[in-house]
Structure 1
């Protein structure tokens, strides 16, 4: 992909995401970036998030009917999406290579990567439900 012209706003968005583990929405990113760049528009934040995801510098997590989330981690890992509160969590120690090997074994084409999401209720929502 082509190298992008440097943008302070885009760099601020990336740095914000690198400091997070909670997979913020575009609105959350916008609110935080406005503290540094008060004149930035929501459209600019959306465009930059989309561009960064296309460039492979961040990951975009599509959460079905709720807002997309963004992740600075681009290494192979899976996510859990809570259907009650909408939070997105990293799932650690799940071997993504095994799933990809199985898919390649049964597919004649070329596989470049994959995404896999797990859905359910997070521990906090489960605890609240049990009370």
Structure 2
């Protein structure tokens, strides 16, 4: 599954006449395999051994290229570094206010919201997002342990 998503993304780059570099391909593969929402710095550190001459700016610039093309989304929360989400399905995010973890939340009921907005109020929706804030299970467990 991950391989086909990366191949599809590389084909999209080729169709846009964008050169496929080993660094670009590695960033895409890392994003597709990651179940987290990494920052540019986290991706840079993860790929450093493979590409010691690649700069953090190269990672950041490629991520913004992927955002522009549409297969990566940039997530900005509060004053923290942007996180990046490689996605091909509509989903939402649960964000821990303690540790900053971002977890994908799939809730198909909301997929119809654009159609509902159109039929109820005549609103033409271009896109939508939902974020849920609270405390993740790991942080809740740490709180319980601290009070025990």
Give the TM-score normalised by the residue count of structure 2.
Answer: 0.79
Deviation string, structure 1 residues 50-97 (Cα, Å, up to 9, x no partner): 111111122222222212111222310111111100011011234332
Q: Greater helix share, 1 or 2?
A: 2
Matched, 1:7 2:7: no
CA distance in 2, matches of 1:27, 1:80: 22
Tell me how many residue pairs correspond in the alignment: 131
Listed one character per residue, the Cα deviations across residues 80-122 of structure 1 (whole Å, up to 9, x for unaligned) are 1111000110112343323223333355453222122111111
Q: Which has the higher Rg, Structure 1 or Structure 2?
A: 2
Q: TM-score, normalised by structure 1?
A: 0.88
Residues 102-111 or 5-14, more deviating: 102-111
Q: How does 1:101-120 map to 2 (within 5 A)?
A: 101-120=115-134
**For the Cα contact (< 8 Å) 2:91–2:106, is it kept in 1?**
yes
Which structure 1 residue ranges, 4+ long, deviate > 3 Å from structure 2?
105-109
Structure 1 counterpart of 2:101: 87
Q: Which runs of 5+ in 2 are unaligned?
A: 1-14
Question: Aligned Cα RMSD in Å?
Answer: 1.8
Stretches of structure 1 that go unaligned for 5 or more consecutive residues are none
